[in-house]
Amino acid sequence: MSLKEKMVSSFLAFELDTNINSPVHDIRSESIKDFEKIGFPGKKNEYWKYTPINKVLNDKLTVFKKKRHLIEFEKVKDFFVNGIESYKIVFIDGAYDPLWSNTTHKGVDICILSAILENKKYEGLINKYYNTITDKNESFSLLNSSFSKEGAFVHIPKNMELDKPIEIIHINSGGESSLMLQPRSLIILEKNSKAQILESHYSLVGENNKSPYSYPGFIDPLTNTLTEIHVEENANLDYYKIQNDLETTSLIDNTYINQKRDSEVSCHTFSFGGNIVRNNLNFYQNGENINSIMKGITILGGNQHTDHHTLVHHANPNCESYQEYKGIYNDNSTGVFNGRVLVDKIAQKINAFQQNNNLLVGEKSSVNTKPQLEIFADDVKCSHGCTIGQLDDSALFYLKTRGISEKEAKGLLTYAFANNVLENVKMQALKTKIKKIIANKIGVNLGFEL
């Protein structure tokens, strides 16, 4: 039985286990029907051209988890951002873990999706927002809509500036083979509200950088996550993603962001590892004077692969979008950047900028990039730039003449290359954490205060 057939038949068993009176039941059954029609992306699919996703679509993958794993705090404490107060929603292998979570319903809802889906009080919100902006022709989004029942739910009411950041943490314990996880988050920012959200994906690490419970024939988990974000008028969201998985775990991250007038969303994606990591980041601008910012740093090694697909749909006039992605590729790692900017005919006075810079360090590293502009309006300013190259020899030489060792000089230059993406990170503690990860990844002690 192929994985597609298996998924479709699994749905019957899945349905038995869920409440069929739930408002999302129709969405689930329609999604699986649509998925059955299109299946997984084939080899000739243009949107998956450079990412061999079939490599991780093992027939043995299953959406049913058998057991529950408890993890000691020691092992996960580094996954949190140190030194800050925050709301926390923690998932272990896709299941909510109340032990380290810190949720609230006091004036603001920061909790889990499963609780909301079954609660009459939230039915209005679910009908208004749930699964309204996802791509109904995208295999993995459909699959997630069919099987998801757990994830984070955030609802910030009107005129509220959230006091602390929210950390949404997904941890793979690696305690079970062949898991395909389907976490789903719904984030709603009402008018004039403001929030900071950090979403991260980690795996527990055992010996040789493998899963701690790995055995021969062990199939590492594939996470297929979907996040829907609705940002209402004049709201402001600062959103961060950290993807720092094992070299064996894979992640497909679909994010859909719907912005209303005068709103601003900035999304930073820090990709530091994973077997295959695919980010589909989609921005829809439904109103005037909207600003969308996408930034990312990718540092890979080994045989890792990361793919950033971004889409900004400028449907209204007087909006802006800004994209800046930096990639550093060591060893045999490969990277993909596909940025798509779509400007509708009525969307005049758009200012769209797209930049992708890549450093090829590893002998067998490679980069495929495709910054794409589709423009139907004439009074716009759109530009994109893309470079692939190496560290500047003269800069390296300059540092060496100042008595800095080659390794350190390279580290400094690489760090500098990535640094300006970090400039807009407003959460200071997070900035420090990322800087530490980068320094660690580059393998040098930068020798200055982080």
Partner 1 sequence: MAYTEEELKKELEQQEYQYGFTTEIESETFPVGLNKDIVRKISEKKNEPKWMTDWRLSAFEAWEKMEEPEWPNVKYKKPQFQEISYYSAPKTKAKYDSLDEVDPELLKTFDKLGISIDEQKKLAGVAVDIVMDSVSVATTFKETLSKKGIIFCSISEAIQEHPDLVKKYLGTVVPKKDNFYAALNSAVFSDGSFCYIPKGVKCPMELSTYFRINQAGTGQFERTLVIADEGSYVSYLEGCTAPSRDENQLHAAVVELVALDNAEIKYSTVQNWYPGNKHGKGGVFNFVTKRGICHENSKISWTQVETGSAVTWKYPSCILKGNNSIGEFYSIAVTNNYQQADTGTKMIHLGKNTKSTIISKGISAGKSQNSYRGLVRISNNAENSRNFSQCDSLLMGNNCGAHTFPYIEAKNKTAQIEHEATTSKIGEDQIFYCNQRGIDTEKAIALIVNGFSKEVLNKLPMEFAVEAQKLLEISLEGSVG
Interacting residues with partner 1 (CB under 8 A): 46, 50, 345, 348, 358, 360-390
Q: Shortest gap between Cβ of 258 and partner 1 (angstroms)?
A: 24
Nearer to partner 1, 118 or 344 (CB): 344
Q: Shortest gap between Cβ of 22 and partner 1 (angstroms)?
A: 41
Nearer to partner 1, 289 or 368 (CB): 368
In this structure, the chain runs to a length of 450
CA distance 147 to 216: 28
Q: Shortest gap between Cβ of 263 and partner 1 (angstroms)?
A: 25
* Closest by Cα among 306, 172, 281, 285 to 233: 285
Q: Shortest gap between Cβ of 430 and partner 1 (angstroms)?
A: 31
Q: Which residue has the tokens 């299941």?
A: 95
Q: Shortest gap between Cβ of 445 and partner 1 (angstroms)?
A: 25
368 touches 48 (CB < 8 A): no
Nearer to partner 1, 385 or 443 (CB): 385
Nearer to partner 1, 68 or 364 (CB): 364
Nearer to partner 1, 68 or 407 (CB): 407
Nearer to partner 1, 281 or 352 (CB): 352
Q: Shortest gap between Cβ of 248 and partner 1 (angstroms)?
A: 24
Q: Shortest gap between Cβ of 345 and partner 1 (angstroms)?
A: 6
Nearer to partner 1, 255 or 333 (CB): 333
Who contacts 369 (Cβ-Cβ below 8 Å, separation ≥6)? 335, 336, 337, 338, 356, 358, 386, 388
Q: Shortest gap between Cβ of 325 and partner 1 (angstroms)?
A: 13
Q: Shortest gap between Cβ of 346 and partner 1 (angstroms)?
A: 8
Q: Shortest gap between Cβ of 390 and partner 1 (angstroms)?
A: 7
Q: Shortest gap between Cβ of 388 and partner 1 (angstroms)?
A: 4
* Closest by Cα among 228, 236, 243 to 192: 236
* Closest by Cα among 210, 63, 205 to 146: 63
Q: Which two tokens stand for residue 223?
A: 């996470």
Is the sign of the CA dihedral 19, 20, 23, 25 positive or negative? positive
Q: Shortest gap between Cβ of 368 and partner 1 (angstroms)?
A: 5
